[in-house]
Each structure stands twice: as structure tokens, then as C-alpha cells.
């Protein structure tokens, strides 16, 4: 994959699983592709927004207290 045109239009289940596994382990730097459309794009955008939100120091402190 060398260009944006080569990127898949569908959500890769293995990529999603890898991202969710990273989140489970506390890695909030993981991101999904931002160029997906439709339902796949909404899933990727939601995951990206949640990881961004959870990566803030305040959120990490609150999550650690639970």
C-alpha cells in the first residue's frame, strides 16, 4: 500500500482486534484509519475519539482509581 487509493474501504477485523487488544493493555496511542466511510468509518472514528479522550492524563488518573 503506497497511496491513499490503495487503502481498503472496509474495516479490517484483524486491525480492529489489534486496536482493541492494545486498548485493553492500556495503549491509548492506537488509532484506526481515518479515511473509512459509512458504518466502518463511524466505528473507526468512534474508537479513535475514545482512545484520544482516554489518553488524557486526567482520564488515566480517574480510570486508575476505579
**Could you tell me the residue ranges of all domains in the chain?**
39-66
Q: What is the dihedral of CA 36, 41, 44, 49, to 10 degrees?
A: 120
21: exposed, middle or buried (Cβ count in 10 Å: 0-12, 13-18, 19+)? exposed
Exposure on the CB side of residue 24, measured as CA atoms within 13 A: 6
Model pLDDT, residue 47: 93
pLDDT digits (tens, 9 = 90+) for 7-63: 556 788 999 999 999 989 989 899 999 998 899 999 999 999 988 887 766 555 555
- Helix boundaries (H) for the chain: 13-24, 38-54, 57-65
Model pLDDT, residue 31: 92
Q: What would the grid cell of residue 33 be?
A: 484509519
Model pLDDT, residue 59: 54
Amino acid at each position: 500500500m503506497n497511496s491513499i487509493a490503495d487503502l481498503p474501504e472496509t474495516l479490517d477485523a484483524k486491525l480492529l482486534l489489534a486496536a482493541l487488544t492494545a486498548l485493553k493493555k492500556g495503549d491509548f496511542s492506537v488509532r484506526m484509519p481515518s479515511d473509512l466511510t459509512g458504518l466502518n468509518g463511524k466505528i473507526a472514528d468512534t474508537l479513535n475519539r475514545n482512545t484520544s479522550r482516554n489518553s488524557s492524563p486526567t482520564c488515566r488518573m480517574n480510570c486508575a482509581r476505579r
